[in-house]
């Protein structure tokens, strides 16, 4: 059986759903089914009680008075004086002759009642028993609903509100007794009375995930109700029915009764309605138990073109049982209705419809107040305004366990009210689960705006403090208060002009910090300094210039030929506008913005489909803003209002479940954050302070859950690139505007180092595989430049430039990420951090993930890259079945690939397969030991994979030796052991890339196999091969054993050329390429290459024509022989292979170093690099005495000119005239003037010697003659 997480990942995408679960206020009788009760809302009253009602007090005392109703108008109160008092209102209603069933609803509120009787409404048909209806406890208004069967021949029914045998008071309002006309129900068999098969008649079944059952139970009315039970919190089981609607669309009401004993999971149960022709979805339901049967209802709006809906009686991502009955779908005459419910993401959701406004709505104003007080529609209760294009929104600024009521007012363009909904109440969620605090500081017209949200458990009240320096615990005491008595979330203004602020809790702890940001555009990524840098970079040859030319050419070519999405075209056009200042590019950006906005799928099957363009359009808006008109900006702002609401209602499990590791969280929440940061404060959009806090919290939790400390990302590099691309505008944008809350989570993972270990220099692109990522996609290196740690930036640039940049045979500058590359591209490299081909990259030992990455060097396509995986960790989202998986690239060949998303293709795996089954459990692997080898990129691991293979035992020991062995550049040894109670077929498998040929043979007790691709090879040996079979079929090489146990002792060697090593075995030891590996003691294997203790040193002047000499350095052993290779800028200099090298003209301005390789008696070789010497440019100096003759008491000026093909010429110069000397300097252009002191009579040879500097060499001038006559 597949794990639950995988089942969740494989769910079919569903339409975005709006959650509703409430009962609409007011009577619901329609003209077709009028209320049979007169004065049902008790608005008319006489001296002794409501008109049209009789009073009856058979015992004790009772009063019948008018009190304020639910909506502030009339209601009736029945109050009794003793516990034996009986007070009744009485009305006989006429029942239509065709009625078979009546529906009774009323609203009830009880004061303090004592006694053993009842308070509610009793109903009696002539000659039948009385039926009682009412709630047991109703301190606030509660609705009661019932369906009443009409006895044959009945023409009247008596309705009696009553307090019977109790002392106290009860209030009633809005009694509705109407014919329940089954024929008007658009749903078929909504009462589930017909159940002749495995499903109710007229209903189908959809089991999207997990397991569950469908059965009948006792009904709310009638005999049957439907019971849906699901077995796990991720199970999704629905009964479905397609319903044909009347033509013309409109507003419809859905009603049903449900009973839920217990429920667990993050989803909900109830009724989902999908409008099948582009109208979205509505979910009326709950995720908490009920106390018996409870009615739910809600409105949904159907576009005029829609003709069908699909009903889902649904247990959606829950474990539990729901009983559901009397599903009814009918047209609604409500002209303005509002429903409220908790959204799947945990906020208060509002959904409304306006069917008959008195004017044209331009906007909807949402007002909120406490449930216990009248709701006044004014500025004090206004919480949000949205465009008229929206019929839903959320309230994100709620306090836990608080009952609120809401009303939505439609207003026309002048601000006049044209419609108003009913009031709707809701109890907010019980807890604020926000786990992150954030603070934002911006300059606004009122001074300084502070926006914040504190974690749900932060002690209140909060204080904002300010200082001129970044605030830490060390200087907190010296700060000053900028705002005090702050609540958990919100925004406020302060006059404090400080540049740094902190949010402090009631105990004095720092919750969040921020620095001041300005709101003028651009805000994200680009500013004056960055744009100046970009213009300098693109003015010189290199990758930035090539990338810029590509971007501009793509934009100049227009959307039709762009070759990617319109949102990316819009972003690149806006970028070109910023760099050039040409408003024509802002116009191009707007046209593409409109095209992309109009194509945005607001009823997307996946929230990702909407987030993808929004992340790019947010940057477009920010960067092109200054080139757009007010009308163009207004169009964009309204678009972002719509996308904001769309994201607030996003409900895909990958987003809303507590596990935030899925890339969905990064993409969707990152896109929404980007748009808020780009648009906040513009054109009535507001600052979105609280919502930004929610998104910051979601993204921090995503970053910490999705990445291990070493940067490992479960889905693989392809999804890492995608997530980085889409989330970066929001995450990096928050840093750009001074919000610090995400900085640590963003910078902690060693993502750049992981890429350096797993991306090859092969062309075309090739990289190691894990998760479900393909191995041949280009890596989005420019997106990671800003996360590089010291020493990582230059090798990142080296790989990108050679594989995709201007040094590549086929440059590729992806429209997905190259603009970020120009933003983060460095102008200079810190001293000591230049690219070093001899640098050792120690193994990445990620025990949390169970992933181990090894690389021998970063030099060329022959680099050896290896990754071993064990799947110690698993979270929601895509994942690979890669326990004991191997991914390996070397010598311009991919020897061990993985299947990417072809997860069921057994032949595409490089790992051990049990019974040819590609499926595995995930997250149960264990690391027993791991360590790196000193002085190289290899290491040793010991793994337990039994929990993922689901067998009795499965262990792997692996040694990865990346020492240069002469004929082999790397050795890998695997000791795999398996046992189980059942017999299995165990297959040790490698799946090389296409074009690799394989041969194998049995030699003695071993199987030897060799992979070939051109001159490159991989050779392997299986030790003790008795009982094993080898084969190469369907593109994969397999060694197979059968039984209850299996052992695989396998050694691999990789290299290039005609010399392929052979192996000899003795006992458990295998000897090849000068190394002996004891397979029974892999833990004890130590690579035998010498270790460099101090690097070789260069001596000599770094000038053209001079000779540099390299020392051997010092080493940890004797008996070594040494070879030399001189390099220019990291590339070998042909023929320069001795200990000395004479500098040539082409070395000027270049870095020269020596690679000294020590070879031991065992043939193992270890290279060591000297520090580089930068060769100075040769110079030519000319000196001219301005006056050639004169007398001794005069001074004589010498004009000096120094020239060079490069370098900085400024420096000292010494002028000699015989035994006399004068000094001076030349400027950066090599020009200078030196004055000689008065000289005695005589003839002098005048020579100027330029003294050079770190970039240019010493040079003397030819002599000039000076004669002193007297």
pLDDT number for residue 1189: 63
- Assigned token pair, 151: 């006895």
> Is the domain of 136 the same as that of 194?
no
Order the strands of the 1231-1236 sheet from edge to edge: 1180-1185, 1196-1203, 1231-1236
Conformational region of residue 543, where left means phi above 0, alpha means psi within -120 to 50, and beta covers everything else: alpha
- Reported as a pLDDT band with limits 50, 70 and 90, residue 2 is very low
pLDDT digits (tens, 9 = 90+) for 317-367: 899 999 999 999 988 877 788 888 888 788 999 988 887 789 999 999 999
pLDDT number for residue 1041: 98
Given a cut of 50, is residue 3 above it in pLDDT?
no
> Is the domain of 1053 the same as that of 1123?
no
> Is the domain of 770 the same as that of 785?
yes
Q: Check which CATH number belongs to the domain holding 1003 and give it.
A: 2.70.98.70
* Count of CB atoms situated within 10 Å of the CB of 114: 10
- Residue 121 CA, chain-centre distance (Å), reads 55
Question: Would 13 be classed as within a structural domain?
Answer: no
Q: Check which CATH number belongs to the domain holding 226 and give it.
A: 2.60.120.260
Conformational region of residue 754, where left means phi above 0, alpha means psi within -120 to 50, and beta covers everything else: alpha
pLDDT number for residue 186: 87
* Closest of 713, 777, 799, 725 to residue 751, by C-alpha: 713
Which of the listed residues 153, 180, 207 is the one where a domain comes to its end? Answer: 180
- Reported as a pLDDT band with limits 50, 70 and 90, residue 303 is confident
Query: Which residues are within 8 A (CB) of 136 and not within 5 positions of it... i.e. 6 or more apart?
Result: none
- Assigned token pair, 916: 């040819």
> Is the domain of 359 the same as that of 488?
no
Give Dmax (Cα) for the chain.
152
**Within 13 Å and on the Cβ side, how many CA atoms surround 4?**
14
What's the number of domains the chain is made of?
A: 7
Cross-strand pairs, 1266? 1244
DSSP, residue by residue, 1169-1215:
EPPPEEPBBP-EEEEEES-SEE-TTS-EEEEEEEE-SSS---EEEEE
Question: Would 411 be classed as within a structural domain?
Answer: no
pLDDT number for residue 1066: 85
> Is the domain of 786 the same as that of 848?
no
> What is the bridge-based pairing of β-strands 250-264 and 319-331?
antiparallel
Q: Check which CATH number belongs to the domain holding 469 and give it.
A: 2.60.40
Question: Would 502 be classed as within a structural domain?
Answer: yes
How far, in Å, are 844, 858, 865, 981 from residue 755 at the CA level? 11, 12, 11, 41
pLDDT digits (tens, 9 = 90+) for 681-700: 998 899 999 999 999 999 99
Question: Would 386 be classed as within a structural domain?
Answer: no
Given a cut of 70, is residue 1139 above it in pLDDT?
yes
> Is the domain of 1119 the same as that of 1213?
no
* Closest of 788, 709, 802 to residue 760, by C-alpha: 802
Tell me the pLDDT of the chain averaged across its residues.
91
Conformational region of residue 368, where left means phi above 0, alpha means psi within -120 to 50, and beta covers everything else: beta
CB 1175 within 8 Å of CB 1101: no
Which of the listed residues 180, 197, 216 is the one where a domain comes to its end? Answer: 180
Residue scoring higher pLDDT (509 or 1186):
509
> What is the three-class DSSP state of 1113?
coil
* Closest of 175, 178, 172, 187 to residue 147, by C-alpha: 178
Question: Would 24 be classed as within a structural domain?
Answer: no
* Closest of 892, 903, 660 to residue 774, by C-alpha: 903
> Is the domain of 113 the same as that of 133?
yes
> Is the domain of 787 the same as that of 685?
yes
> Is the domain of 504 the same as that of 533?
no
- Reported as a pLDDT band with limits 50, 70 and 90, residue 7 is very low
Q: Which domain holds residue 85?
A: 54-180
d(CA 735, CA 741): 8
pLDDT number for residue 602: 79
> Is the domain of 156 the same as that of 279?
no
pLDDT digits (tens, 9 = 90+) for 323-332: 999 999 988 8
Q: Check which CATH number belongs to the domain holding 540 and give it.
A: 1.50.10.100
Residue 1000 burial by Cβ neighbours in a 10 Å radius (0-12, 13-18, 19+): middle
> Is the domain of 150 the same as that of 73?
yes
Given a cut of 60, is residue 137 above it in pLDDT?
yes
pLDDT number for residue 1: 29
pLDDT digits (tens, 9 = 90+) for 1200-1238: 999 999 988 999 999 999 888 999 999 999 999 999 888
Residue 356 burial by Cβ neighbours in a 10 Å radius (0-12, 13-18, 19+): exposed
pLDDT number for residue 182: 56
Q: Give the DSSP H/E element, type plus range, for residue 675.
A: helix 670-679
- Assigned token pair, 584: 């024509």
pLDDT number for residue 100: 79
Question: Would 367 be classed as within a structural domain?
Answer: yes
- Residue 211 CA, chain-centre distance (Å), reads 30
Given a cut of 90, is residue 1011 above it in pLDDT?
yes
Which residue in the block uniquely carries the two structure tokens 């116009």?
587
- Inter-axis angle of helices 630-648 and 583-599, nearest 10: 30
How far, in Å, are 533, 664, 893, 933, 1064 from residue 795 at the CA level? 21, 30, 21, 22, 39
pTM: 0.75
Length of the chain: 1270
Query: Which residues are within 8 A (CB) of 1219 and not within 5 positions of it... i.e. 6 or more apart?
Result: none
> Is the domain of 861 the same as that of 746?
no
- Residue 750 CA, chain-centre distance (Å), reads 17
Question: Would 465 be classed as within a structural domain?
Answer: yes
Question: Would 43 be classed as within a structural domain?
Answer: no
d(CA 327, CA 312): 11
> What is the bridge-based pairing of β-strands 392-395 and 382-387?
unpaired
d(CA 328, CA 256): 6
CB 1054 within 8 Å of CB 1067: no
Which of the listed residues 366, 381, 396 is the one where a domain comes to its end? Answer: 381
pLDDT number for residue 279: 61
């Amino acid at each position: 059986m597949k794990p639950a997480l995988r089942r969740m990942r494989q769910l079919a995408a569903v339409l975005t759903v709006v959650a509703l679960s409430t009962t609409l206020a007011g009577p619901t009788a329609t003209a077709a089914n009028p209320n049979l009760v007169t004065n049902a809302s008790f608005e008319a009253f006489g001296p002794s009680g409501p008109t049209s009602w009789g009073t009856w007090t058979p015992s004790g005392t009772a009063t019948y008075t008018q009190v304020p109703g639910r909506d502030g108008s009339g209601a009736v109160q029945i109050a009794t004086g003793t516990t034996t008092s009986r007070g009744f209102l009485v009305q006989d209603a006429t029942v239509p002759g065709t009625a078979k069933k009546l529906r009774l609803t009323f609203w009830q509120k009880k004061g303090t009642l004592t006694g053993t009787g009842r308070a509610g409404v009793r109903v009696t048909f002539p000659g039948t028993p009385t039926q009682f209806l009412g709630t047991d406890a109703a301190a606030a208004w509660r609705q009661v609903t019932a369906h009443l069967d009409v006895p044959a021949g009945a023409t009247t029914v008596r309705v009696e509100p009553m307090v019977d045998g109790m002392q106290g008071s009860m209030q009633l309002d809005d009694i509705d007794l109407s014919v329940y006309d089954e024929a008007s129900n658009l749903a078929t068999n909504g009462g589930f009375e017909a159940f002749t098969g495995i499903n109710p008649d007229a209903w189908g079944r959809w089991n999207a995930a997990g397991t569950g059952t469908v059965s009948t139970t006792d009904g709310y009315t009638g005999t049957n109700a439907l019971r849906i039970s699901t077995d796990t919190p991720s199970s999704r089981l629905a009964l479905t029915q397609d319903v044909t609607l009347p033509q013309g669309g409109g507003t419809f009401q859905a009603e049903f009764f449900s009973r839920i004993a217990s429920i667990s999971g993050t989803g909900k149960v109830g009724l989902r309605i999908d409008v099948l022709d582009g109208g979205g979805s509505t979910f009326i339901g709950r995720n908490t138990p009920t106390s018996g049967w409870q009615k739910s209802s809600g409105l949904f709006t159907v576009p005029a073109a829609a003709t069908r809906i699909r009903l889902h009686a649904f247990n959606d991502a829950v474990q539990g049982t729901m009983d559901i009955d009397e599903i009814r779908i009918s047209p609604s005459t409500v002209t303005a209705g509002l429903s409220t419910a908790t959204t799947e993401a945990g906020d208060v959701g509002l959904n409304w419809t306006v069917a008959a406004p008195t004017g044209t709505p331009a906007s909807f104003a949402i007002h909120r107040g406490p449930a216990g007080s009248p709701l006044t529609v004014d500025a004090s209760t206004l919480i949000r305004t949205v465009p008229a294009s929206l019929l839903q929104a959320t309230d994100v600024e709620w306090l836990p366990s608080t009952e609120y009521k809401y009303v939505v007012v439609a207003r026309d363009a002048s601000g006049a009210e044209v419609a108003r909904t009913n009031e709707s109440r809701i109890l907010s969620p019980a807890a604020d689960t926000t786990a992150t605090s954030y603070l934002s500081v911006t300059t606004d017209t009122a001074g300084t705006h502070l926006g914040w949200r504190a974690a749900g458990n932060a002690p209140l009240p909060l204080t904002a403090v300010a200082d001129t320096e970044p605030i830490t615990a060390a200087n907190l005491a010296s700060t000053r208060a900028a705002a005090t008595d702050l609540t958990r979330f919100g925004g406020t203004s302060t006059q404090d002009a400080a540049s740094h602020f902190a949010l402090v809790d009631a105990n004095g702890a720092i919750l969040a910090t921020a620095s001041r940001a300005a709101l003028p555009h651009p805000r994200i990524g680009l500013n004056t300094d960055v744009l100046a840098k970009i213009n300098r970079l693109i003015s010189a040859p290199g990758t930035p210039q090539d990338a810029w030319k590509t971007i501009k050419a793509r934009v100049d070519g227009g959307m039709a030929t762009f070759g990617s999405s319109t949102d990316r075209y819009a972003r690149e056009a806006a970028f070109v506008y910023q760099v050039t200042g040409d408003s024509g590019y802002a116009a191009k950006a707007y046209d593409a913005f409109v095209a992309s906005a109009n194509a945005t799928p607001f009823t997307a099957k996946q929230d990702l489909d909407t987030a993808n363009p929004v992340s790019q359009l947010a940057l477009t808006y920010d960067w092109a803003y200054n080139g757009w008109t007010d009308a163009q900006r207004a169009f964009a702002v309204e678009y972002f209002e719509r996308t904001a609401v769309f994201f607030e209602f996003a409900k895909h499990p990958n987003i809303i479940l507590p596990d935030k590791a899925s890339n969905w969280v990064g993409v969707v929440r990152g896109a929404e954050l980007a748009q808020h940061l780009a648009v906040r404060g513009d054109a009535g959009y507001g600052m979105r302070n609280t919502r930004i806090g929610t998104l910051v919290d979601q993204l921090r939790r995503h970053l910490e859950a999705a990445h291990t400390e070493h940067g490992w990302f479960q889905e693989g590099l392809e999804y890492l690139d995608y997530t980085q691309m889409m989330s970066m505008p929001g995450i990096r944008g928050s840093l750009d505007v001074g919000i610090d809350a995400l900085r640590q989570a963003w910078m902690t993972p060693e993502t750049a180092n992981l890429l350096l270990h797993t991306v090859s220099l092969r062309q075309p692109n090739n990289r190691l595989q894990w998760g479900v990522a393909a191995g041949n996609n280009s890596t989005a290196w420019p997106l990671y430049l800003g996360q590089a740690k010291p020493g990582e930036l230059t090798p990142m640039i080296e790989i990108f430039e050679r594989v995709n940049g201007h040094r590549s045979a086929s440059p590729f500058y992806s429209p997905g990420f190259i603009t970020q590359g120009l933003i983060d591209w460095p102008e200079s490299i810190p001293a000591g951090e230049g690219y070093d081909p001899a640098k050792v990259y120690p193994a990445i030992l990620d025990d949390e993930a169970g992933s181990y990455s090894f690389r021998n060097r970063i030099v060329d396509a022959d680099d050896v890259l290896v990754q071993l995986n064990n799947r110690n960790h698993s979270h929601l989202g895509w994942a690979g079945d890669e326990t004991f998986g191997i991914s390996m690239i070397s010598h311009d060949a991919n020897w061990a690939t993985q299947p990417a998303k072809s997860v069921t293709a057994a032949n595409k795996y490089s790992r051990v397969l049990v019974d040819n089954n590609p499926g595995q459990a995930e997250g149960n692997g264990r690391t027993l030991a791991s360590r790196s080898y000193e002085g190289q990129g290899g290491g040793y691991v010991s793994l337990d994979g039994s929990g993922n293979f689901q067998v009795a035992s499965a262990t792997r020991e692996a040694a990865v030796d990346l020492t240069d062995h002469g004929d082999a550049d790397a050795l890998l040894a695997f000791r795999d052991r398996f046992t189980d109670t059942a017999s299995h077929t165990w297959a040790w498998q490698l799946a090389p890339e296409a074009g690799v040929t394989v041969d194998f043979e049995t030699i003695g007790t071993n199987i030897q196999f060799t992979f070939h691709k051109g001159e490159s090879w991989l050779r392997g040996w299986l030790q003790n091969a008795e009982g094993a079979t080898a084969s190469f079929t369907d593109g994969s090489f397999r060694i197979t054993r059968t039984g209850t146990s299996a052992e695989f002792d396998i050694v691999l060697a990789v290299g290039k050329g005609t010399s392929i090593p052979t192996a000899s075995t003795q006992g458990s030891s295998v000897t090849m390429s000068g190394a002996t590996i004891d397979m029974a003691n892999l833990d004890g294997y130590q690579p035998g290459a010498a270790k460099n203790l101090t690097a070789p040193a260069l001596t000599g002047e770094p000038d053209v024509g001079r000779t540099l000499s390299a020392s051997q350095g010092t080493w940890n052993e004797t008996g070594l022989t040494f070879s030399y290779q001189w390099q220019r800028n990291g590339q070998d200099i042909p023929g320069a292979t001795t200990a000395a090298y004479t500098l040539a003209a082409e070395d000027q301005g270049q870095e020269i170093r020596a690679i000294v390789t020590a070879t031991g008696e065992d043939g193992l070789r270890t290279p060591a690099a000297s520090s580089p010497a930068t060769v100075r440019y040769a110079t030519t100096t000319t000196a001219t005495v301005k006056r050639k003759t004169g007398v001794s008491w005069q001074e004589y000026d010498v004009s000096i000119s120094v020239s060079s093909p490069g370098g900085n010429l400024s420096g000292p110069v010494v002028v000699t005239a015989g035994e006399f000397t004068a000094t001076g300097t030349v400027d950066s252009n090599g020009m200078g003037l030196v004055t000689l002191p008065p000289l005695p009579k005589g003839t002098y040879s005048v020579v100027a010697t330029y003294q050079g500097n770190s970039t240019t060499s010493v040079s003397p001038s030819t002599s000039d003659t000076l004669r002193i006559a007297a």
